[in-house]
Amino acid sequence: MPDTHARRRAALRSHLRERDLDALLVVDLLNIRYLTGFTGSNAGLLVHAQDDERTVFCTDGRYLTQSARQVPDLRRIIERPCPPALVAHAAAEGFGRTGYESHRVTVDELDTLRAAGEVELARASGLVEQLRVVKDDTEVEALRMACAAADRALADLIEHGGLRPGRTEREVARELENRMLDHGAAGPSFESIVATGANSAVPHHRPTDAVLQSGDLVKLDFGALVDGYHSDMTRTFVLGHVADWQRELYDLVATAQAAGRAALRPGVEVRAVDAAARGVVEDAGRGEDFLHGLGHGVGLEIHEAPALAKTGEGRLSAGMAVTVEPGVYLSGRGGVRIEDTLVVRDGDPELLTLTTKQLVVV
């Protein structure tokens, strides 16, 4: 996708010119992947503010063939380490003020960069991440595929009896992750959460040998990784008979989640989206049991900007991919979380995780 990556670099250049930068040294591997398509473990990128003719990609000899295939449209330097080699190149080419990803470069690394060549280095934090917040069509399609892999894996798990009393949390997690691989995922987005009974009241419980039992709430929080993009979904089930308190808790979270989804509109403050869902829980007297923010951006990282939270900053824009995941947790009893991945649109948001949100009794 050379054209896609070239468009992204062109968008970055406008930010560089606004900051009076001749170039930007990109060292974050995910940002390099976003701008070039390169997926190796060692690289650097020097993006010139004027055009790609003076933009340079760097990697080492292990990736000679791979980089030629994935980054065919940029001049290459084969060197290691890449950041000082690119600074030396900038100095030799007479580059002026050059930004660097100060949120990724350590103090020791900065000393090395300064010693590599006579270039004015300027802090330039988060410029590529600002672009990554709004997804293009290629990214949204990867997210759709990742969400579909997770949806299908969960459907298979349930259809084949994988969620039943007598199994352990670890067994369920392993099967769920294997089924995502069967449906085209490169791997899980993160360590899958399977939490049964009282463990479901722990928001980020890690699977153990705890045994699923009839009457338990079982919370599954998981995602699939496809083409570098992450899906994220949570569904909560009941095994066997549903108690009244479990149904009431589920209905409350489902109502809050629907309110959060409905609030996803371009121009809306991220805090307002959180407030729309949190207000439902607070009005029910359960505000203290909603222990985290409503959601987060998702893409090349499982947690990206924006943060849909009480402390979140900024407004939504069309094309942002976010999660909406309210939860209510009753310590020692059980908890419910319902989470979707969605894309903000000018009209209704696009729902990417399609598994039913009705209470399912297994």
| 188 and 40 belong to one structural domain | no
Contact 122, 97 (CB under 8 A): yes
| 209 and 334 belong to one structural domain | yes
Asked if residue 166 has pLDDT above 80, the reply is yes
Would residue 290 count as lying in a domain?
yes
Query: Residue 125's pLDDT is what?
Result: 95
| 126 and 182 belong to one structural domain | no
Contact 261, 255 (CB under 8 A): no
Query: Residue 345's pLDDT is what?
Result: 98
| 68 and 202 belong to one structural domain | no
| 67 and 114 belong to one structural domain | yes
| 228 and 318 belong to one structural domain | yes
Asked if residue 122 has pLDDT above 90, the reply is yes
CATH number of residue 315's parent domain: 3.90.230.10
CATH number of residue 32's parent domain: 3.40.350.10
The three-state DSSP-derived secondary structure of 247-263 is HHHHHHHHHHHHHHHHC
Contact 89, 78 (CB under 8 A): no
Amino acid (one-letter) located at 113: L
**What's the average model confidence in pLDDT over 224-240?**
98
| 255 and 328 belong to one structural domain | yes
Query: Residue 2's pLDDT is what?
Result: 74
| 209 and 108 belong to one structural domain | no
| 205 and 229 belong to one structural domain | yes
Distance CA 141, CA 129 (A): 19
| 271 and 314 belong to one structural domain | yes
Domain that holds residue 104: 2-132
Would residue 358 count as lying in a domain?
no
The token pair at 149 is 């892999």
Helix axes 29-36, 2-18, angle to 10 degrees: 120
As a whole number, the mean pLDDT across the chain is 97
**What's the average model confidence in pLDDT over 154-170?**
97
Q: Is 272 helix (H, G, I), strand (E, B) or coil?
A: helix
Query: Residue 1's pLDDT is what?
Result: 75
**What's the average model confidence in pLDDT over 69-98?**
96
Query: Residue 112's pLDDT is what?
Result: 96
Query: Residue 257's pLDDT is what?
Result: 98
Question: Residue 115: pLDDT band by 50, 70, 90 thresholds?
Answer: very high
Give the position of tokens 């987005």. Answer: 189
Query: Residue 279's pLDDT is what?
Result: 98
Residues of the chain with pLDDT > 70, as a percent, come to 100
The whole model's pTM is what?
A: 0.95
Would residue 155 count as lying in a domain?
yes
Question: Residue 104: pLDDT band by 50, 70, 90 thresholds?
Answer: very high
**What's the average model confidence in pLDDT over 307-323?**
97
Q: Which parts of 60-216 are beta strand (E)?
A: 75-78, 98-100, 121-123, 187-188, 193-196
Domain boundary among 110, 132, 154: 132
**What's the average model confidence in pLDDT over 34-50?**
97
Would residue 149 count as lying in a domain?
yes
Asked if residue 340 has pLDDT above 90, the reply is yes
Per residue in 236-275, pLDDT (tens digit) is: 999 999 999 999 999 999 999 999 999 999 999 999 999 9
| 174 and 294 belong to one structural domain | yes
| 141 and 126 belong to one structural domain | no
Query: Residue 155's pLDDT is what?
Result: 98
Question: Residue 39: pLDDT band by 50, 70, 90 thresholds?
Answer: very high
Would residue 356 count as lying in a domain?
no
Determine the distance from the C-alpha atom of residue 298 to the mean position of all C-alpha atoms in its chain, rounded to a whole number: 3
Domain boundary among 113, 132, 151: 132
Helix H segments across 19-71? 29-36, 64-70
Total domain count for the chain? 2
The token pair at 223 is 């995602």
Distance CA 129, CA 12 (A): 10
Domain boundary among 102, 132, 162: 132
Question: Residue 217: pLDDT band by 50, 70, 90 thresholds?
Answer: very high
Distance CA 152, CA 173 (A): 15
Helices first, then strands: H and E counts in the chain: 10, 19
Would residue 357 count as lying in a domain?
no
> How many C-beta neighbours within 10 Å does residue 113 have?
21
**What's the average model confidence in pLDDT over 119-125?**
96
Residues of the chain with pLDDT > 90, as a percent, come to 99
Give the position of tokens 């009753």. Answer: 330
Query: Residue 98's pLDDT is what?
Result: 97
Would residue 360 count as lying in a domain?
no
Would residue 84 count as lying in a domain?
yes
Question: Residue 17: pLDDT band by 50, 70, 90 thresholds?
Answer: very high
Distance CA 39, CA 62 (A): 12
**What's the average model confidence in pLDDT over 322-350?**
97
